[in-house]
């Protein structure tokens, strides 16, 4: 019986015994590391046929240094930590888990939106400073008179939009890839510039790609109405943080809520940590006990399904067969 070597490159979970059991029952030999750099992955992977990745960077150098590599399974939706072009070129499958925390992320975004608009966290800070007054954080407006803009209407964006339809006066959306027959009922379709111009709150639900990196920059932030808010539960690299802080400090934006940052965790002294207009959570929008269990099961089952059927559960990159 063949033994298939699998490396779990890194994981923040304290116990990986469930993943190990699933893989070993499928005939895999499992190694566990905590790689943070490409060269660490190369050293740890050696002759691995599959990598199970949480945050470790899987660069072109990594992919080309591992001759037996056939599959990369990412624990999460985003695959921006994997060089997809190099994987396709090398004939390596890439898989993710796109559907494990849809309601969790949408709910977290909704909680952030409502907290910003009702000044919940800002008022909490004032009370702890000894200030007890309903106007201590400025004006609060009726949510049913406001417009929510949702950028990206995949599973999570559509779920959030549906949640908010009966809360906001209007919900508008932008997604150039979603066909008309899949567009959520009650959400007005607009172009990206219109969305930023017309939204009192913009919530981001996009993958991080070359096209979307730093997409929310000075140009688009300047379009937003004075006193509006930005929420990001997708990828930190979508937002130019220097530009965001500039528009918060200038008073153009009233606040922002961020579950994701360009660098996680932020370094000591990063101005976003103590910024009075920013709410930060530690990349937790995906999490519930139930979603973590589902994520980890499907993360491992991508490998098991590949061994059984020749394809992972959720392929992102499917190698093209080359004719001889």
Q: Tell me: the pLDDT tens digits for 250-262? A: 999 999 999 999 9
Calpha distance 26→48 (Å, rounded): 15
Domains present along the chain, CATH in parentheses: 4-100+289-317 (3.40.50.720), 102-280 (3.40.50.720)
The pLDDT tens digits for 39-72 are 999 999 999 999 999 999 999 999 999 999 999 9
Give the list of residues 6+ apart from residue 71 with CB closer than 8 angstroms, or none: 49, 50, 51, 92, 93, 94, 95, 302, 303, 306, 312
Candidate list 108, 158, 235, 296, residue with the active-site label: 235
pLDDT at 323 over 50: no
Is 19 among the residues known to form the active site?
no
Q: Is 205 a catalytic residue?
A: no
Q: What average pLDDT does this structure show over 136-143? A: 97
The count of other CB atoms within 10 Å of the CB of residue 274 is: 9
The residue from 39, 219, 264, 290 that is catalytic is 264
Global pTM value = 0.93
Q: pLDDT of 162-192, one tens digit each?
A: 999 999 999 999 999 999 999 999 999 999 9
Which tokens belong to 264?
């996680």
Given the residues 74, 283, 294, 296, the one annotated as active site: 283
Burial class of residue 322 in the structure, from the number of CB atoms within 10 Å of its CB (0-12 exposed, 13-18 middle, 19+ buried): exposed
| 303-320 tens-digit pLDDT | 999 999 999 999 999 987
pLDDT tens, residue by residue, 190-220: 999 999 999 999 999 999 999 999 999 999 9
Confidence of residue 321 (pLDDT cuts 50, 70, 90): low
Each residue of 68-123: pLDDT tens digit?
A: 999 999 999 999 999 999 999 999 999 999 999 999 999 999 999 999 999 999 99
**pLDDT at 1 > cutoff 70:** no
Residue 310's Cα: distance from chain center in Å? 28
Q: What's the mean pLDDT in 1-18?
A: 91
- 104 belongs to the catalytic site: no
Q: Residue 3 — pLDDT band, cuts 50, 70, 90?
A: confident
| Tens-place pLDDT, residues 95-106 | 999 999 999 999
Comparing CA positions, the residue from 205, 121, 106, 118 lying closest to residue 164 is 106
């Amino acid at each position: 019986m063949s033994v298939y070597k699998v490396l779990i490159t890194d994981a923040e979970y304290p116990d990986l015994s469930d993943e190990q059991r699933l893989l070993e029952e499928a005939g895999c030999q499992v190694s566990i590391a905590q790689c943070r750099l490409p060269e660490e992955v190369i050293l740890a992977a050696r002759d691995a046929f599959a990598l199970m990745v949480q945050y470790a960077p899987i660069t072109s150098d990594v992919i080309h240094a591992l001759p037996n590599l056939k599959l990369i399974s990412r624990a999460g939706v985003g695959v921006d930590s994997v060089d997809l072009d190099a994987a396709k070129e090398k004939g390596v499958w890439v898989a993710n888990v796109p559907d494990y925390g849809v309601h969790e992320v949408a709910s977290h975004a909704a909680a952030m939106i409502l907290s910003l608009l009702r000044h919940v966290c800002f008022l909490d800070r004032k009370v702890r400073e000894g200030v007890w007054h309903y106007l201590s954080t400025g004006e609060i407006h009726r949510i049913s008179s406001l417009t929510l803009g949702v950028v990206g209407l995949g599973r999570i964006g559509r779920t959030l939009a549906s949640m908010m339809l009966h809360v906001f006066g209007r919900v508008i959306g932008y997604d150039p890839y979603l066909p008309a027959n899949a567009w959520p009922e009650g959400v007005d379709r607009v172009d990206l510039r219109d969305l930023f111009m017309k939204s009192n709150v913009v919530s981001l639900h996009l993958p991080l790609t070359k096209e979307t990196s730093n997409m929310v920059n000075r140009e688009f932030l300047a379009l937003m109405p004075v006193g509006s808010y930005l929420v990001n539960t997708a990828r930190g690299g979508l937002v130019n943080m220097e530009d965001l802080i500039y528009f918060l400090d200038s008073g153009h934006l009233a606040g922002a809520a961020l579950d994701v940052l360009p660098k996680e965790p932020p370094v000591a002294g990063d101005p976003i940590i103590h910024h009075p207009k920013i709410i930060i959570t530690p990349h937790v929008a995906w999490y519930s006990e139930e979603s973590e269990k589902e994520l980890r099961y499907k993360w491992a089952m991508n490998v098991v399904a590949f061994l059984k059927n020749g394809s992972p559960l959720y392929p992102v990159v499917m190698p093209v067969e080359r004719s001889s």
